[in-house]
Amino acid sequence: MHETLRFVGKVVEGTISRTADRWFLSITVEMPDLHSVRRENQAVVGVDLGVSALATLSTGEKVAGPKAYSATLKKLRQLSQHFSRQMEAAKVRAGLKPGEPIPKGMHIPWSENMRKTQRRIARLHARIANIRANTLHQLTTDLVERFDVIAIEDLNVAGMLKNHPLARAIADMGFGEFRRQLEYKAAQRGKTVIVVNRWYPSSKTCASCGYKIPKMPLAVREWTCPECHTHHDRDINAAINLRRVAESSVRGSSPVPA
C-alpha cells in the first residue's frame, strides 16, 4: 500500500502510533519555505473565539464549532454507566460487596465484555478528537490563505475552564489547539498573527465611536451603544475591535488602543 506525496518535500522519518483500535503513521518532512511575498495592502482580519460560534470574523462571518463532545455526550454517558455496572459485577465475582471500594493492591479481572466496552469508549473519544482537529484545521488553513494579518485574543483557557457551566463547551472548542495551528501555519506562509492582550475590552468597546460600556454579562449577545446608538452583535463588534488593533500594529502605532 502506498500513496504519492501531496506536497513538495522530503520525508525524514515516520512514527507509527495507535489510538483506540486504529493505527496511524505520522511523518516528519523537510519542506521549502512557503513564505509569500508581503503585499503593500495587507488583508487584515480580527477573529473572536467563543462558545456559541467557534470563531466570529470582523467580516461578519461566523464559523460554527464542532460541538463533537456535546453531540456524543449521551452515548459516552451510557457507555460509561454500562462499564461501571460491569465493574461492579466483576467486583462481586472477586468476592467484594456491591459498592465496596477495591482494596489497594487488589486486581479485578476484566471480562471480555468489559474490554469491548472500553474499546467502544476509546473509539468514541478518538472520533471526537478527529472531528475537532478537522474543524480547526479547516478554519486555520482558510484564515492563513485569505488574510495576511490575523488578530486574536490572548485567551486564558485555563481560567475559562474553571467556569464549570461552560467548561465542557470551552474544552470542546479547542481554543488552545486553534492558536497552535494558526501560529505555525502563519509562520510557514509568512503571515502575521497578532495576539491582543486578554484585558483589552474588545466586547465592551463600541467599534463605531469607542465608547466603553461598564459591564456586559456573557449572556448579553447584542447591545446598543448608549453614546452613538449603534446596535452591535457582541462577537462581530469584538472581532472588528481586534482587527483595528492589528491595523494599528501594522501601521506601527500603539498595538492596543486606550
42-72 pLDDT, tens digit per residue, is: 899 999 998 888 899 999 999 987 766 667 7
Give the pLDDT of residue 175.
Answer: 83
Instruction: Record the cell numbers describing residue 96, joined without a space.
Output: 467484594
Closest listed residue to residue 63, CA positions, set 192, 182, 191: 182
86, 113 contact by CB (below 8 A): yes
CA distance 29 to 11: 4
- Phi, psi angles (nearest 5°) of residue 102: -75, 120
Collapsing DSSP to helix, strand or coil, 178 comes out as helix
Looking at this protein, which amino acid is placed at residue 72?
T
- CA quadruple 52, 55, 58, 62: dihedral positive or negative? negative
pLDDT of residue 115: 96
Where in the sequence numbering do the catalytic residues fall? 48, 153, 235
The predicted structure's pLDDT at residue 256: 46
pLDDT at 62: 96
What is the model's pLDDT at position 118? 95
Q: Are 32 and 9 in contact (CB under 8 A)?
A: yes
pTM: 0.75
Residue-level pLDDT at 128: 82
Average pLDDT per block of 10 residues along the chain, 258 residues long: 68 77 73 60 91 92 79 86 95 90 92 96 87 91 97 77 63 82 93 94 96 91 96 97 93 53
